[in-house]
């Protein structure tokens, strides 16, 4: 039993919530699913809901218990977290079973149950309290619950299973009349409802009417704003069928037109992207010659007029040559980056052990100078472009050596087969990367260190991601500052 001070604190919290909180709307109800870590589905944008003729009524269509509570649990938890009154109508599942599904995260479901914020109600207390389903009787139940909630809570959140409509004493006509009238009851009230419909048990012809009477639908992990929703005054109007046909046809036309416009936009973007790729390739290719010219003439100036130049002039020339060389390295990197899309490579089986052997040979001077130890496990054969894959391993190995810290670098290259993919890992024991920046390191020209600390162009990792993407793979990093870095990437395995 709660103490008086605890009850007083809860009462103060509710009072503050009532006075300070915005009205409960369908946006907040759907936002429960958007913000919940348990809900991994798709949710249509919420910013245009005001344009829909709607109310706070959501229908969940489910096939399994897991699918059902993937939506119900976050819906209930958010209501508890926001201080709302939560009313749960149970069916064949026991209260303990439902509580087991609802518990989790930072929300104290048991405390809400003890305080009366969360309540469970049987079918005999609600939908069937007169012995059979009576729409007028059930609407009175919800109207009373809304009035009771107003005094103490910022809103009422209701969730209920609806398999009782299969009861022999319940007529589908009465139930559909009730569902439409619920929309009228909730309109303008701080109340939102989530109804659960078992698609394995309820007949399809009934589900069709259910769809038409709910403004918002959750199905197959997707929250939809229902274009087929029919307002109550139309649903029961004799001419409703004609309007419903028009509504459905117009929806199909609108979506078809939108899809056509989207396809046209995609074509335009692809054409524009192709022009940009070609521009990047041509620009980077043509920039190399003038940069070489600038660097060469600066060096000629330095050698030809060495006796006439003072120390400061020679220093200026050195800065200019260094800047020109770094610019040329960036242009060469950009040229390599643009080539990935410019040339359609004919993928073929590539022995990654041979690729890494070639990389180690080309990096041998760097390996010797840094006293690096490179351990290479048995590597598989993949499908890809050998030259591009050599660039990936070369960039990752070069970075591992470069960012080794004060100790001689130790690098391990491993791989394992996972289905039709091979997962490669390049692990070092160097300085590591702050996790805050792990998403940025794959962006082109994005560097975490100045040239005074480490030389580089900011293209290497972007090029790695570009090549891995080109091979329909993924690349990611595991790292902590001071604890080394491991880059993982996937490539298609050779059959």
Reduce the DSSP state of residue 14 to 3 states and report it: helix
Q: Which two tokens stand for residue 253?
A: 């036309």
Q: Which two tokens stand for residue 68?
A: 């059902």
* Alpha-carbon span 287 to 233, nearest angstrom: 70
Task: Spell out the residues 6+ positions from residue 57 whose beta carbon is closer than 8 angstroms to its own.
Answer: 26, 182, 183, 186, 192, 193, 195, 214, 215, 216
Report the b/e string of 470-490 with b at 16+ CB within 10 A: bbebebebbbeeeebbbbbbb
Phi, psi of 471, deg, nearest 5: -95, 15
Residue 169 has pLDDT above 60, yes or no: yes
* Alpha-carbon span 421 to 493, nearest angstrom: 5
Three-state SS sequence of 180-193: HHHHHHHCCCCEEE
* Alpha-carbon span 371 to 471, nearest angstrom: 33
Q: Which tens digits make up the pLDDT trace of 15-51?
A: 444 444 444 444 455 555 555 555 555 554 444 334 4
Nearest Cα residue to 28 out of 157, 130, 118, 138: 157
Higher per-residue confidence, 97 vs 212 = 97
* Alpha-carbon span 179 to 185, nearest angstrom: 10
The pLDDT value recorded for residue 491 is: 94
Phi, psi of 357, deg, nearest 5: -60, -45
**403: burial class by Cβ within 10 Å (0-12, 13-18, 19+)?**
buried
Report the b/e string of 23-56 with b at 16+ CB within 10 A: ebbbebbbebbeebeebebebeebeebeeeebbb
Higher per-residue confidence, 167 vs 137 = 137
Q: Which tens digits make up the pLDDT trace of 370-387?
A: 999 999 999 999 999 888
Average pLDDT of the residues in 87-114: 90
DSSP label of 163 = G
Q: For the chain, how long is the longest CA-to-CA vector?
A: 111
* Alpha-carbon span 446 to 460, nearest angstrom: 10
Q: Which tens digits make up the pLDDT trace of 404-418?
A: 877 889 999 999 998
* Alpha-carbon span 208 to 411, nearest angstrom: 61
| Range of 111-125, 226-240, 299-313 with top mean pLDDT | 111-125
Please determine, looking at this structure, whether the domain spanning 260-343 carries the CATH number 1.10.287.
Answer: yes
Q: Which two tokens stand for residue 232?
A: 């109550």
pLDDT confidence band for 240 (50 / 70 / 90) = low
The pLDDT value recorded for residue 35 is: 58
Average pLDDT of the residues in 81-86: 90
| Domains in the chain: boundaries | 4-237, 260-343, 346-492
* Alpha-carbon span 134 to 141, nearest angstrom: 11
Task: Spell out the residues 6+ positions from residue 438 whose beta carbon is closer than 8 angstroms to its own.
Answer: 476, 477, 479
Residue 151 has pLDDT above 80, yes or no: yes
Residue 233 has pLDDT above 60, yes or no: no
| Range of 1-5, 259-263, 479-483 with top mean pLDDT | 479-483
Least confident of 211-220, 240-249, 384-393: 240-249
Least confident of 31-45, 61-75, 105-119, 269-283: 31-45
pLDDT confidence band for 426 (50 / 70 / 90) = very high
Name the class of domain 346-492: alpha beta
Query: Are the CB atoms for 139 and 178 separated by under 8 Å?
Result: yes
* Alpha-carbon span 47 to 301, nearest angstrom: 63
Higher per-residue confidence, 287 vs 237 = 287
Nearest Cα residue to 85 out of 136, 131, 21: 21
Task: Spell out the residues 6+ positions from residue 255 whose beta carbon is closer than 8 angstroms to its own.
Answer: none
**75: burial class by Cβ within 10 Å (0-12, 13-18, 19+)?**
buried
**285: burial class by Cβ within 10 Å (0-12, 13-18, 19+)?**
middle
Nearest Cα residue to 283 out of 334, 343, 326, 342: 334
Task: Spell out the residues 6+ positions from residue 371 whose beta carbon is closer than 8 angstroms to its own.
Answer: 408
Reduce the DSSP state of residue 459 to 3 states and report it: coil
* Location of structure tokens 């007169």: 130
Q: Which architecture does CATH list for 4-237? A: 3-Layer(aba) Sandwich (3.40)
Residue 261 has pLDDT above 60, yes or no: yes
Q: Which tens digits make up the pLDDT trace of 297-339?
A: 777 877 777 777 788 887 888 788 777 777 777 766 666 666 6
CA-to-CA dists, residue 275 to 168, 264, 445, angstroms: 67, 17, 21
């Amino acid at each position: 039993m709660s103490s008086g001070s605890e009850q007083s604190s809860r009462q103060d919290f509710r009072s503050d919530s009532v006075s300070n909180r915005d009205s409960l709307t369908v946006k907040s109800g759907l936002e429960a699913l958007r913000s919940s870590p348990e809900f991994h589905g798709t949710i249509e944008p919420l910013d245009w809901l005001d344009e829909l003729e709607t109310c706070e009524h959501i229908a969940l269509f489910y096939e399994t218990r897991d699918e059902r509570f993937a939506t119900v649990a976050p819906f209930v938890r958010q209501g508890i977290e926001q201080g709302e009154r939560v009313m749960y109508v149970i069916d064949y599942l026991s209260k303990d079973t439902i509580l087991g599904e609802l518990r989790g995260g930072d929300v104290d479901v048991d405390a809400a149950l003890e305080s009366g914020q969360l309540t469970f109600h049987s079918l005999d207390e609600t939908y069937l309290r007169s012995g059979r389903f009576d729409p007028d009787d059930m609407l009175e139940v919800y109207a009373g619950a809304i009035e009771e909630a107003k005094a103490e809570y910022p809103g009422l959140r209701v969730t209920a299973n609806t398999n009782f409509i299969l009861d022999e004493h319940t007529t589908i006509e009465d139930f559909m009349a009730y569902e439409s009238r619920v929309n009228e009851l909730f309109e303008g009230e701080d109340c939102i409802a989530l109804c659960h419909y078992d698609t394995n048990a309820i007949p399809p012809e009934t589900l069709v009417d259910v769809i038409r009477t709910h403004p918002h639908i959750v199905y197959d992990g997707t929250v939809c704003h229902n274009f087929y929703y029919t307002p109550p005054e139309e649903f029961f109007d004799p001419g409703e069928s004609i309007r419903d046909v028009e509504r459905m046809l117009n929806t199909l036309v609108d979506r078809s037109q939108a899809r056509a416009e989207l396809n046209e936009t995609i074509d335009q973007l692809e054409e524009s992207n192709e022009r940009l790729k070609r521009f990047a390739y041509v620009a980077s290719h043509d920039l190399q010659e003038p940069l070489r010219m600038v660097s060469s003439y600066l060096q000629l100036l330095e050698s030809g007029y060495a006796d006439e130049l003072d120390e400061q002039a020679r220093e200026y020339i050195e800065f200019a040559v260094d800047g020109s060389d770094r610019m040329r390295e960036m242009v060469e990197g950009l040229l390599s980056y643009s080539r990935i899309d410019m040339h359609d490579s004919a993928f073929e089986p590539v022995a990654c052990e041979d690729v890494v052997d070639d990389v180690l040979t080309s990096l041998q001077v760097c390996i010797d100078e840094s006293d690096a130890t490179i351990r290479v496990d048995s590597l598989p054969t993949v499908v890809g472009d050998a030259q591009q894959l050599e660039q990936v391993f070369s960039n990752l190995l070069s970075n591992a050596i470069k960012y080794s810290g004060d100790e001689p670098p130790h690098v391990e290259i491993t791989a394992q087969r996972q289905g039709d993919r091979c997962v490669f890992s390049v692990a070092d024991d160097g300085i590591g990367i702050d996790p805050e920046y792990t998403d940025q390191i794959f962006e082109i020209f994005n560097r975490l260190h100045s040239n005074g600390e480490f030389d580089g162009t900011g293209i290497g990792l972007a090029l790695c991601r570009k090549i891995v993407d080109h091979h329909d793979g993924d690349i990611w990093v595991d790292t902590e500052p001071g604890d080394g870095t491991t880059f993982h990437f996937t490539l298609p395995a050779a059959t």
